[in-house]
Each structure stands twice: as C-alpha cells, then as structure tokens.
Amino acid sequence: MKEDRRPEEDIGPLLRRRKATLSVAESCTGGLIAHRITNVSGSSDYFEMGIVSYSNRSKVQLLGVSKRDIDRYGAVSHRVAEQMVRGIRLNAKTDIGLATTGIAGPLGGTRGTPVGTVFIGLDHEGGTEVRKFYFGGNREEIKEKASQKTLEMLMDHLMGMDNKASKKTKL
C-alpha cells in the first residue's frame, strides 16, 4: 500500500470485482467522503448515493434514526451511527453502507462529548460495525481525518473479504 494512502482510488476495483455497490450517510464529514469517492473516474459503477444528514431532523426523516435515541444518547453516539449506516444502506439498496457522525468544531461539544469525537459505521450483508475515534486538529483537519479513516475502514473490510475468499478456494 502507498505511504500516503488514498483508499478512494483502491476501493473501485475491489467493489467492481464483487459487483458491489456503496452508499454513504455523512454528518460531521459534510459530504467529504462522497466527494473523495466521486473524484475517482468510473465511481458511478459502484457508488449509488451519498446523503449529508447534518441536522437531527434529517437523520430522522432520511435515515430512520430514532428521535428518542438522539434525545437519549445524542446525535454523536454509537446508537445513532448504527442507525444511520443501516438507514443509508436500506434506503439506497446497496451492498455496503458507510456513515459518520461526530463533532468537528469547537461549538459542537454536546453532552460532554469532546470535539474530535467521531463514530464511523460500516454496514454490509454480514453485519454492522461501528467504531469510535478521537481526532485532533481544527474543523477541517478533523473532517479530513474522519473521511480518511472511514475510507480505510472500507478498504480494510474489502481486503478482508478478499482474504477470506482466497482461503476458501485453497481448502
């Protein structure tokens, strides 16, 4: 893998090989993930849609996130990230969904959640994974780091699928 890893360039061939499709629900990254994916020529072969659901209302209306869970756990929570990623995958009817929710700026800290807290979700036929990260830096740096980590999670997932497939064929 390259030193300056650009996973958006590497995921296309892996998704095409499986004839898999991708959708993204973004909050704190504000469309940066979709932007990076669509900067790759031919991404329309596998990228179905991206939604920037920045407000709590849009998370509820567009992604089916429970308003009660937002009120109880906060928009920046494992529970909300899980619902966002499942919602985008279900609505877009894709094989894989990605989602981000977090606090990228100094005015965002709610419920004692520090700036730089980001939950990233990945949903696929085999299940849902949500991970919590803390990124330092200013608003733009946090968004960039979160988008990078999200694409790396997708890349690692796809590479892991390749490894499992190759082990099955060797048996």
- Tell me the two tokens of residue 8: 């958006």
Per-residue pLDDT reduced to its tens digit, 141-162? 999 999 999 999 999 999 987 6
Q: Does position 46 have pLDDT exceeding 80, yes or no?
A: yes
**What domain count does the chain have?**
1
Pairwise pLDDT comparison (121 vs 165), residue with the higher score: 121
Q: Is residue 2 part of a domain?
A: no
Per-residue pLDDT reduced to its tens digit, 70-123? 999 999 999 999 999 999 999 999 999 999 999 987 765 556 789 999 999 999
CA distance 20 to 86: 16
User: Where in the sequence is the domain holding 40, given as residue range(s)?
Assistant: 7-170
Q: Is residue 110 part of a domain?
A: yes
Give the residue ranges of DSSP H helices in the chain.
7-18, 32-38, 56-63, 67-73, 78-92, 139-170
Q: Report the pLDDT value the prediction gives residue 104, as an integer from 0 to 100.
A: 85
Q: Is residue 1 part of a domain?
A: no
Q: Report the pLDDT value the prediction gives residue 160, as an integer from 0 to 100.
A: 86
Q: Does position 136 have pLDDT exceeding 90, yes or no?
A: yes
The CATH number assigned to the domain holding 21 equals: 3.90.950.20
- What value does the CA radius of gyration of the chain take, rounded to a whole number of Å? 16
CA distance 167 to 120: 28
Q: Report the pLDDT value the prediction gives residue 1, as an integer from 0 to 100.
A: 38
CA distance 157 to 142: 22
Q: Is residue 136 part of a domain?
A: yes
Identify which of 134, 37, 33 has the alpha carbon closest to the alpha carbon of residue 84.
33
Average pLDDT, the chain: 91
